[in-house]
Structure 1
Amino acid sequence: MKFYSTNNTDLRVGFKEAVFNSMPQDKGLYMPVEIPRLDDKFLSHLDEYTLPEIAYHVAQNLLGDDIPADDLKGIIHDAINFYAPVVKLEENVYVLELFHGPSLAFKDFGARFMSRVMSYFLEEGEKQLDVLVATSGDTGGAVALGFLGVPNTRVTILYPKGKVSQIQELQLTTNGQNIRALEIDGTFDDCQALVKQAFTDKELNEKFRLTSANSINIARLIPQTFYYFNAYAQLLREGISKVVFAVPSGNFGNIGAGLLAWKMGLPVEQFIAATNANDTVPAFLKTGVYQPKPSVATLSNAMDVGNPSNWVRIADLFKEKPEALKKLIVGYTYNDEETLQSIEAISKTYDYVACPHTAIAWKALKAYQQEHPAKDTAGVFLSTAHPCKFPDVFTKEISDKINIPEQVKELEKKAHHATSLDTSFEGFKEFLLKNA
């Protein structure tokens, strides 16, 4: 499979180059030249396949011969070794739990797949791979655990000071080995800007072999399609064939993967982009004006993104039919007060604890269903992180319902270390060069 840049459709690179370069020099993002449509027989019999089988079929169709079949199967079985159940809460309301991986967040799908792909492509004697990643909360932990101990790689994680939860910070700063953390005195957008600038800096690119583990990397996006197909497979087993997905959205990689799955033939009726106060995309869907703005801090910190990187991919998917985009995606936005009300309502109605991001997706789904009642259509909202990662958000009554996983208890015993930097690129560049 060949990939082009969203800023240069004539560019052609293979999967290996797209993965390692992460972002083309023209500052676009890589997209597949062809998006294959999976055959109807496979799609209508998805319920007969396991998650790894579905993942292999989807990846093989996208990647072609770039990774031989047996090697690709091995990568998937090693990376996607946890489950992603669809749980019924009430008639036509389901939650897709994506927090059963090692870092307790949906980003384990992308980070683990990508780390194994990079390790597979790394050849003996090659220059060390330096992975740069900005995180608003969960990406860093997933990438850290995905790459921990991978030979000939080093990961540098940038996170905004005081804007990630305590458990998220522990997941970033307690790894050691080939993982290092930088605490940036700014926002996620500042962290992301530093990473992007590094990729276009001549001196850094001559000295280091840089790549990104953010969702700008195509190897993060592809495996996120797996759980959409797998969710649909689980619904088919219940006799349901119509679905709408409500997706908590920050950098828009998650919903971007859903739209890629749709392009490959997954029969989704509607995508609901659920955001917090950082409402750049919902505002665009209403007004037609795309106006990025500085991010603001909220309780749902992983969605605190004012200029979503992956929106260019979504726009590119629909470049020939931009009006179809506005029909397929509807946007909803909620503030912190509404987020807390939703957490309370979910707890009381279903005796279920949802993290702040998940609660926003539920509220958006319920609002959409009220406006578009359909008895034969299941609404699935994505639960992107385990609630234990956000202890300060919950009342004691709700907090007491949360089962704390063993790996979280172990984290609290570990020593942690981070280097503090301001938002200047000069300071970040100096750190990289001095700590080569």
Structure 2
Amino acid sequence: MSDVEPLRYHSTRGAGPAVPISQAIAAGLAPDGGLYVPEALPSIDPGAFDPQGALADTAATLLAPFFAGDPLASELPGICAEAFTFAAPLRALPAHPDTVMLELFHGPTSAFKDFGARFLAACLRRLPRADARPLTILVATSGDTGAAVAAAFHRQPNVRVAILYPDGRVSPRQARQLGCFGDNVMALRVAGRFDDCQRMVKAALNDTALQAQLPLASANSISLGRLLPQMSYYAHAALGWWREHGTPLNFIVPTGNLGNAVAGLWVHEIGLPIGTVRLACNANPTLPDYFAGAAYAPREAIATLANAMDVGAPSNFERLRWTFPDEAALRVQLQAHSVDDATIQQAIARHAREYDEVFCPHTATAIHSLDRLRSEGNNAPWAVVATAHPAKFESVVEPLIGHPLAVPASLAAMLARPAASEPLAPTDDALCDWLLAHG
């Protein structure tokens, strides 16, 4: 154990003791139902990073203060090397000058969730457990999280994964990915919305009687073990741009549950060269309405083409409010733009026709937001965050571009497997009963 004073973590809701990061990662959710946040965000000098370092090196330097004094601190370089085995490249976009795309879909399941899921799995493998019973990882997914977590934990000893997804509200290829693993991974198709899945997972994690019978943990972005590693690709991209151009890089982030966006904002807050962060949302109005000045009002999610962002009650809003406790300052810091399905389709079709660029529906919300900024005369350097490979959404994308999409090899291998899932009612009791029956 290091003699460095450890950074401790407390709940966004203020109840309960502060805990070390190992405990926060193992628990997933704080006992009072809040999300774990550090007592204070550290400050990091951009000069502390190796200019020649790979993404894993950037991650190890970036996250070291968050793990200081914890038993996992000495393991951090190995965790990062194990998790970040694929790139997150910045690629120039021909549509606009000073515009790049941060491609986050080169992992095993072709979505940005691979980074956080693999990091969390690497952490949990290194944490000692007094309980010899299998640990059940609960995951609510609106499309991509579940497959990433399944791939990260597949066949890991003494761990099982239960994935809850809204039946009929993910793409056919996403659904097949979720059900193709088998072994220690179980896919549950919930007769409801993503918000139902998310509520059910939170209720199970907060059920002390259930936890006494069945050890549970979370792998959603409510988990620090998922959110913290997502900071790494923002830091790596921003530092690379800053070294080459001498200016901060601005980001447009497609978002629904706010985890990916909060990761980018935390990189800005710790002192690295990120400029403005803008949120691109689908037709779900919770965040755009709030940033336009309305009171925060969670509501039922609307089904859209950008289904992984179909969230009406974003969990990480609690972390956002903790980061910017002054509501007026938060609304100055962030803007959120809503993009409906027709506009998503137009953006995909136009960029394919004019620039031979193909985007998934989620990335298309950010592309439209960029087009709007440029049309308004904004010439700042922007990075569009590409969250998933378009081949995961062939039923949406291929009719718009007029030709089949090449499928990444790792995705093709998953789609070739048989897939299975079980139906589940959208109630807390239904999940509790299922967990106990399969415990």
Over 3 Å counting, the alpha-carbon distance change for 1:400 and 1:17 in structure 2 is: same
Give the letter aligned to residue 78 of structure 1: E
1:34 — aligned with what?
A: 40
1:73 — aligned with what?
A: 77
Q: Secondary structure at the match of 2:370?
A: helix
2:179 to 165, 173, 177: 173
Preserved CA contact (<8 Å) 2:288 2:336: yes
Q: Deviations over 1:35-67 (max 9, x none)?
A: 11102423xx66443211110001112111214
Q: Residues of 2 paired with 1:78 and 1:31: CA distance? A: 24
2:352 — aligned with what?
A: 347
2:190 — aligned with what?
A: 184
1:141-290 superposed matches below 5 A: 141-290=147-296
**Alpha-carbon offset, residue 11 of structure 1:** 2.7
1:34-433 superposed matches below 5 A: 34-42=40-48, 47-67=51-71, 69-89=73-93, 90-123=96-129, 126-319=132-325, 321-371=326-376, 373-374=378-379, 377-396=380-399, 398=401, 400=403, 402-433=405-436
Q: What is the alpha-carbon root mean square deviation over aligned residues? A: 1.7
**Alpha-carbon offset, residue 401 of structure 1:** 6.0
Q: Secondary structure at the match of 1:287?
A: coil
Q: Secondary structure at the match of 1:273?
A: strand
Q: Residues of 2 paired with 1:266 and 1:366: CA distance? A: 26
**Alpha-carbon offset, residue 424 of structure 1:** 2.0
Give the letter aligned to residue 166 of structure 1: P
Give the letter aligned to residue 22 of structure 1: G
1:18 — aligned with what?
A: 24
TM-score (norm 1): 0.95
**Alpha-carbon offset, residue 386 of structure 1:** 0.5
Preserved CA contact (<8 Å) 1:391 1:399: no
**Alpha-carbon offset, residue 86 of structure 1:** 0.7
Q: Residues of 1 paired with 2:352 and 2:366: CA distance? A: 15
Q: Deviations over 1:166-208 (max 9, x none)?
A: 1111111111111111010110001111111111223211101
Q: Secondary structure at the match of 2:61?
A: helix
Over 3 Å counting, the alpha-carbon distance change for 1:293 and 1:131 in structure 2 is: same
Q: Residues of 1 paired with 2:284 and 2:432: CA distance? A: 29
Percent identity for Structure 1 against Structure 2? 37
Moved over 6 A (4+): none
**Alpha-carbon offset, residue 369 of structure 1:** 3.6
Q: Deviations over 1:304-334 (max 9, x none)?
A: 0000000110110011x33322122111001
Q: Deviations over 1:111-138 (max 9, x none)?
A: 0000110111034763321110000000
Gaps of 5+ in 1: none
